[in-house]
Structure formats: C-alpha cells, structure tokens
Amino acid sequence: MGFLKRIGIDSYMMMLVATVLLGVILPAQGMAATGLKYVTYWAVALLFFLYGAKLDPASVRAGLLNWRLQGLTFAATYVVIPLLGLAVVAIFGGLLGPQVTLGVLFLAVLPSTVQSSIAFTGMAGGNVPAAICAASLSNLIGVALTPALVALMLHQDGGGISMDAVVKIGTQILLPFVLGQLLRPVIGEFVKRHRTLTLTVDRGSILLIVYSAFSAGTTSGLWNEIPVQSLIALILVILVFLGTVFGLMTAAGRVFGLPYEDRAVLFFCGSTKSLASGLPIATALFPAATVGATVLPVLVYHMSQLLICAMVAQASARRRARPDAAMVS
C-alpha cells in the first residue's frame, strides 16, 4: 500500500474501480434501482449545498487580483481544452463510438478539480491562494457554463438538452449551491470544522453516481455495444489527450513568463477535470441508460490525472528541496 500511495493510487481510487466492477457484475435492478435513484439525487443536492457553504467569496476576490494567472487558467479550462477535445474527437471519434465520443466532449468542458488541484499545488510548492481562487472560480462558473457548453455542442450535432434536464440542473445543482452560499454565514464555520462530513458526502455521492450509472448501463445492455477494443482505444486516446494538455500548460507557463509558483497553479488547476462536478451534471443531462458510457472518459481521465499529478508534484517537491536545484514545474 505504501508504494501505491507514492504513485498516487489510494483507497478511494481502488473503491472507484471496485464500484465500476460492481455496477457491471451486480447491477441494481427493480425497486433497488428506484431507491438508488432517489438516494443519489439527494446525495448530489447535499454535495452542492456543502460546496456552496464551503466556498469563500473573499478568497475568490483576492485571487482575482492576479488577473493574468486567473485568465490563463480559465482559458485553459473552458477554451483550450474544449478546442483540443473537438480535435481529439475529429481524429479518434471513429474508434470510440458515438456515446464514448460524446463523453470525451463532455469531459473537455468540465471545470477543474478543487481539492486535488489545490493539494498538488501545495505539495509542489506553488501559489496555494491563487490555486484556491482558480479552482473555486472554475467550479462556480462551471455549474452553469458546463451545461451551456454541452447544449451548444449537442445543438451543433443536431441534438439538444431537454427541459427536464434544465429543471434538474436548476433544482438539484444550482439551487442547493445558492442556498449553501446564502447560509454560509450561519453554517460555514461548522462545515469547515467538520471536513470529514464534507469528504464523506463528496466521495460517497460520487460512488453512488458511479454505481447507479454503470448499473443502468448493464441492465440496458449498453456494455454489449461497446467492444473491448473501443475501451482500450479510449484509454490510449485519453492518455494522449491528457499528455497534450500537460504539455500545453507547461509551455504556456514558460511562454507567458510566469514565476514557478504560478506555473504550478496553471499546471494543476488548468489541466485537471472534476469528477465531483462532472458526474452529477452528467446524470442531469444524459439518459440513465447511456450515462455510464458518457462518463467513462471522465473516469479514465480522472484516475490518470491523479496518478500523473501525484508523481509530478512529488518530483517537484524533491527538486525544490535541493538547494542547488532549478525550480521547474
């Protein structure tokens, strides 16, 4: 277990893999599936309520003063990576199939991670306050912007988002988030003091969504329509995608002359994509029978980014610990 932790594989990642396998081998059906649907709905609502209660507007305002870094990070998340996603789909879409291809586009417009990108920035000796602002702002805007970008992409492809999906986004995600922000003066300190509560809701809701999505895919026969070679192709495509994103973030930090601490923020906040935000939005936007295939690229990207970011952050920390070492990201 010590070796696995050093390369970024923790118990939560193993639970994610186990949950995927459980949904494929032993899916929820009948009344169990119906009960799971309601539990998952309210778990997601609670998750975004706590997000709203945790988000400190003051830290966002302070971090915005570093406008160049915040602008670059925002552009990376919502302009550069979506454009790269379109290019990846144009090149490799034929290998992946329509549902998985849609999942790659959905992945490309997701907001940045929060906890992990900030933690990796701190581990690497980067600008943590700026990382808090970048990640928080990305998720604050992404709650509304990600569904809008998905709607735009589906419209371009001749599809669209149903009014039910719009209502679900509003009631399950936006409304709890706004309520959490409004009640932050009352419950904010309580939420901060009880990090175990928020971590349990965060990870527990993700595991529920993963199990529900992959169960629905199994009972609908979706996995029979996705051949093994497509899954292997997906992993390879996502690794190429992620590697290109990391390369672009590294190059951008140097081209724009950012100091090391800000380059670390751009690298970790600009390149990562949020599973915690992505899965609830996916369940609101896409049919239950196909959402498992749609979020598959997000899961592959998420696990890959955690592994690689953990190794990069640890390597950067070791280099910075050497007094004669150059500070590079």
| pLDDT tens per residue, range 61-76 | 666 678 889 999 999 9
Average pLDDT, the chain: 80
- The pLDDT assigned to 326 comes to 45
Q: Band the pLDDT of 222: cuts 50, 70, 90.
A: low
Least confident among 2-6, 12-16, 88-92, 96-100: 2-6
Q: How far apart are CA 284 and CA 281, in angstroms?
A: 5
Whether 28 maps to a domain, the answer reads yes
Is the pLDDT assigned to residue 19 strictly greater than 70? yes
Least confident among 38-47, 198-207, 243-252: 198-207
Whether 327 maps to a domain, the answer reads no
Q: Band the pLDDT of 328: cuts 50, 70, 90.
A: very low
Whether 75 maps to a domain, the answer reads yes
Q: How far apart are CA 212 and CA 34, in angstroms?
A: 10
| Boundaries of domain holding 216 | 2-318
Whether 328 maps to a domain, the answer reads no
Report yes or no on whether pTM surpasses 0.75: no
Give the burial string for 9-18 (b: 16+ CB within 10 Å, else e).
beeeeeebee
Whether 253 maps to a domain, the answer reads yes
Rounded (10°) CA dihedral 240, 246, 248, 252: 180
Q: Band the pLDDT of 36: cuts 50, 70, 90.
A: confident
Whether 101 maps to a domain, the answer reads yes
Whether 142 maps to a domain, the answer reads yes
- The pLDDT assigned to 169 comes to 64
- How many CA atoms, within 13 angstroms, populate the side-chain half-sphere of residue 188? 15
Average pLDDT, integer, range 94-118: 85
Which residue blocks in the chain are alpha helix, DSSP H? 2-6, 11-25, 30-54, 57-63, 67-75, 81-96, 98-108, 115-123, 128-156, 163-168, 175-182, 184-193, 195-219, 228-255, 260-271, 275-285, 291-321
For a pLDDT cut of 70, what percent of the chain falls above it? 83
Whether 323 maps to a domain, the answer reads no
Average pLDDT, integer, range 183-206: 81
| pLDDT tens per residue, range 70-95 | 999 999 999 999 999 999 999 998 88
Specify the number of domains making up the chain. Answer: 1
- The pLDDT assigned to 86 comes to 92
Average pLDDT, integer, range 258-275: 92
Is the pLDDT assigned to residue 125 strictly greater than 50? yes
Which CATH number belongs to the domain containing residue 140 in this structure? Answer: 1.20.1530.20
Q: Band the pLDDT of 17: cuts 50, 70, 90.
A: confident
